[in-house]
Amino acid sequence: MKRINLLLPALLLLAVACKHKPQQPAGDTQSAQDSLESPTYLPVADFIKSDIVKVDSFAGGILKKKDTGGKKDSAYIQPAEFHRLASQFIFPELDSATFHDHFTEHSLMDETTEMLNFIYTAKEPAGSLRSVMVYLRPSLATDQVKRVYMERSFNSGDTAIDQKLTWKMMEYFYVITIRQPKNGPAVTSMEKVIWDPQYFAD
């Protein structure tokens, strides 16, 4: 009997606690649902910044190649020059809030390359960046971002400029620039920066 008397207060407290358990407000439930349903855009700028850090840590040499109208040139560059050129890929439009508000996202699985492609398209030309594609290789362990491709368009004086930018993770990046003067033929140039030695000869 004494043992039962000791258990009763504990059971009573447990029952009261369960009865008065606070319920989640309806607004919080809706917010959580909205969060689950809203698309999660990939942190494109963070992918590139992370690769820049890896280049700083591991690259033994960085080679820059340039081809303008068939005229080719190449030279090894210092880290400061590498950072200046790599900054072309860090667009203000990639800031998370801007990216969500001004770009639409859709994805597809490329059976040929076995990569998942995330495609971001500008809703309207609010900035120079027009589209972004992220190529990701799915894995049971860790998904790997293999490549980022971007297109931008802008004007410089009376010259229209289109750029196609490709960043290949842990290997190289290159920028193709097409300059179309108001009066005159278009000029195409390519600048490629390589830090994986196996691609120096490409």
Given a cut of 90, whether residue 31 has pLDDT beyond it is no
pLDDT digit string (tens) for 62-85? 999 999 988 999 999 999 999 999
Q: For 127-170, what is each residue's pLDDT tens digit?
A: 899 999 999 999 887 889 999 999 999 999 999 999 999 999 99
What is the pLDDT at residue 126?
65
Cα separation, 94 vs 191, in Å, equals 22
Reference 172, options 137, 133, 129, 201; nearest CA is: 201
State the pTM of this model. Answer: 0.79
- For residue 2, is pLDDT > 80? no
Pair 78, 56: CB distance under 8 Å: no
Domain borders along the chain are: 2-33, 44-199
Q: Residue 202's closest CA among 38, 15, 67?
A: 67
Cα–Cα dist 153/163, whole Å: 6
Point out the least confidently predicted range of 8-22, 74-88, 150-164, 181-195. 8-22
